[in-house]
Chains A and B, each alone.
Chain A
Amino acid sequence: MASTDTTTTGAPAAGSVEAGLDALETTRSSRTPWRRTLVDKVLPPLAAIAVVLLVWQGLITLRIVDDPTRLPTPGAVWGAFRHDWLQGRLLGYIWTSVSRGLLGFCLALVIGTPLGLLVARVKFVRAAIGPILSGLQSLPSVAWVPPAVIWLGLDDSMMYTVILLGAVPSIANGLVSGVDQVPPLFLRAGRTLGATGVKGTWHITLPAALPGYVAGMKQGWAFSWRSLMAAEIIANFPDLGTGLGQLLENARTASDMAMVFEAILLILFVGIAIDLLIFSPLERWVLRSRGLLVRG
């Protein structure tokens, strides 16, 4: 049969085999229904919170801890929230800290990105400051608060400095490891397509390094937020505006344990919320579009 095949009859035959193969081997992806998401993702953390609240209330009701200056009741903490909300101050506290944190983070992005590129691409710069940069990541940024206070005084610029010292190394290191992990095959393929020099960096290296960069950004935000809280606790002046760190410090000086809990919970929730609203979706989008996110 094969010898009687001409191009006209042979080609459609090959084409139809091909179409069959394509259909067989194409993976279909579908979105999870929202009910599944509710049961798998939303319910478990809510259950965990409920258990914590129960244990907490139990400790007080059963008089295991019987000292409101050490452990307030959940109701008292709720009351502190309610009070600040009714006074219209709650959102103000949050906004003061969040705006500082995000602005500081954006500054860190502007500084950390070119710095990371420089370290990744220029051998001399890497040899000179690469090790210091990754070492700085393990230095808690709280350590920068005392010198920053002495250099800059107790004001906003001191807080931004501390944020930058915490976040810039993470962001730069994320980009460096992202660039280091770009598969050499992509660079070779890029070169044969004519992507060399700046074009190669823009079209191949940077997009290929994006997952590492986003991971660095995520860590950079966590560090920004921690540094800011440390700075706010120390730089506590009424005319600086009251952020969550100041709220915590004020609660401590007033020995108001319900307010202390309120401040800690707010710091925790805001940190989680920013991650859930900005960085996790960004990371998931980057990984999913590359087929790197395997759903269980």
Chain B
Amino acid sequence: MATTLAKAARSVEYAARLEHVSKSFATPGGSQLVLDDISLDVAPGEFVTLLGASGCGKSTLLSLVAGLDEPSTGTIRTDGRPALMFQEHALFPWLTAGKNIELALRLRGVPRPERRGRAEELLELVRLQGAYGKRVHELSGGMRQRVAMARALAQESQLLLMDEPFAALDAITRDVLHDELTRIWSETGLSVLFVTHNVREAVRLAQRVVLLSSRPGRVAREWEVGIPQPRRIEDAPVAELSLEITEVLRGEIRRHGKH
């Protein structure tokens, strides 16, 4: 528990801070600007969703924050190395569910005798006690994403990045995982930066919704979501705010059809 105290004592005022971040990729016809001058703070313990249509560079932005790629200009600071969850579960099929989590612990330097117990705890946190010895292919899509969540949590990072992690799931499973994520977020006090193109999902989960415009991606607008948790995706206030955000998003998309 000493590590938790040390982290609290350090008391950084952000979990992630992006300052004037731009990213362009070289293409045959010159360079293409994907992200343009993005400044964004994620406070410790805050849940932020990044929302945008396709082509807004939201996944690129997440890769930059995760440190998998470098911004062309601007700076990104995070409190330690963030954990990252993908749309695909990205679990290693040669390891069992439990060993996938233990690998994350091992790479973080957790000594061997502690790993097994810690992995079981994390599986319990995502309500998969008993799945320790299961192979990845023996688990359902929802269970795989929960193991992936447990593996990401095993990194004990202050910031969890999620790249459309529930997009490939059916509606009922996605609903359940929204509940789980909200519960785990409030239990652990993590900061979450969650990327999605699903407006309702964004409003259901987040404290703050950041809308990105497309080509290049810029911060178009932000909304504070004041609806108290636990929320449900079919709640009237969620639907109302979603409608408002969808209108703005449509406007953003429409701009591209004009020329």
Residues of A that sit less than 8 Å from B by CB: 2-3, 5, 7, 10-11, 14-15, 17-19, 21-22, 24-27, 29, 185-186, 188-189, 191-195, 199, 203-204, 207-208, 210, 289-292
A207, B92: Cβ atoms under 8 Å? yes
User: What 10 A-B pairs are tightest by C-beta distance, nearest first?
Assistant: A291-B137, A25-B140, A189-B90, A290-B93, A194-B107, A14-B179, A192-B84, A207-B94, A18-B176, A2-B232
B107, A193: Cβ atoms under 8 Å? yes
A193, B103: Cβ atoms under 8 Å? yes
Question: Closest residue of chain A to B105, judged by CB?
Answer: A193
Q: B residues within 8 A CB of A22?
A: 128, 140, 142-143
The 19 listed contacts between A and B (C-beta, < 8 Å) are: A2-B234, A18-B127, A21-B172, A21-B173, A21-B176, A22-B140, A22-B142, A22-B143, A26-B143, A27-B137, A192-B67, A192-B84, A193-B104, A194-B155, A203-B107, A208-B92, A289-B94, A290-B93, A291-B138
Q: How far is the CB of B55 from chain A (nearest CB, A)?
A: 21
A14, B176: Cβ atoms under 8 Å? yes
Question: Closest residue of chain A to B108, judged by CB?
Answer: A194
The one of A2, A25, A189, A290 in contact with B94, judged by C-beta atoms closer than 8 angstroms, is A290
User: A25-B141, A25-B142, A27-B138 given as contacts; is B180 within 8 A of A18 (CB)?
Assistant: yes
Q: How far is the CB of A126 from chain B (nearest CB, A)?
A: 24
The one of A5, A25, A189 in contact with B86, judged by C-beta atoms closer than 8 angstroms, is A189
Q: How large is the interface on B (under 10, 10 to 19, 20 to 34, 35 or more residues)?
A: 35 or more
Query: Complex: how many Å from CA A189 to CA B89?
Result: 9
Q: A residues within 8 A CB of B104?
A: 193
A17, B176: Cβ atoms under 8 Å? yes
Q: B residues within 8 A CB of A292?
A: 93
Query: Complex: how many Å from CA A163 to CA B140?
Result: 46
Question: Closest residue of chain B to A210, judged by CB?
Answer: B94
Q: B residues within 8 A CB of A14?
A: 176, 179-180, 183
The one of A191, A204, A207, A289 in contact with B68, judged by C-beta atoms closer than 8 angstroms, is A191
Q: A residues within 8 A CB of B88?
A: 185
Query: Complex: how many Å from CA A191 to CA B155?
Result: 12
Does B235 count as interface, using CB distance less than 8 angstroms?
yes
Q: Which residues in chain B, 119-143, are within 8 Å of chain A measured between CB atoms?
A: 127-128, 135-143
Question: Closest residue of chain A to B126, judged by CB?
Answer: A18
Q: How far is the CB of A118 from chain B (nearest CB, A)?
A: 23
- Mark each residue of chain B from 199 to 236: 1 if its CB lies under 8 Å from any CB of chain A, else 0: 00000000000000000000000000000001010110
Q: Which residues in chain B, 12-44, are within 8 Å of chain A measured between CB atoms?
A: none
B86, A208: Cβ atoms under 8 Å? no
A10, B107: Cβ atoms under 8 Å? no
Does B66 count as interface, using CB distance less than 8 angstroms?
yes
Q: A19-B127, A21-B142, A194-B107 are in contact. List 16 more A-B contacts (CB 8 A).
A: A18-B180, A21-B140, A21-B173, A22-B140, A22-B143, A29-B138, A188-B90, A192-B84, A193-B103, A193-B107, A193-B151, A203-B103, A204-B92, A207-B92, A289-B94, A292-B93
Question: Closest residue of chain A to B81, judged by CB?
Answer: A194
Does B50 count as interface, using CB distance less than 8 angstroms?
no
Q: How far is the CB of B155 from chain A (nearest CB, A)?
A: 7
Query: Complex: how many Å from CA A186 to CA B94?
Result: 11
- Mark each residue of chain B from 168 to 207: 1 if its CB lies under 8 Å from any CB of chain A, else 0: 0000110010011001000000000000000000000000
B135, A289: Cβ atoms under 8 Å? yes
The one of A11, A21, A25, A185 in contact with B90, judged by C-beta atoms closer than 8 angstroms, is A185
Q: How far is the CB of B67 from chain A (nearest CB, A)?
A: 8
Query: Complex: how many Å from CA A285 to CA B66?
Result: 35
Question: Closest residue of chain A to B142, judged by CB?
Answer: A21
Q: A residues within 8 A CB of B245?
A: none
Q: Which residues in chain B, 48-83, are within 8 Å of chain A measured between CB atoms?
A: 66-68, 81-83
Q: A residues within 8 A CB of B128?
A: 22
Q: A residues within 8 A CB of B155?
A: 192-194
Query: Complex: how many Å from CA A7 to CA B88?
Result: 29
Query: Complex: how many Å from CA A22 to CA B234?
Result: 23
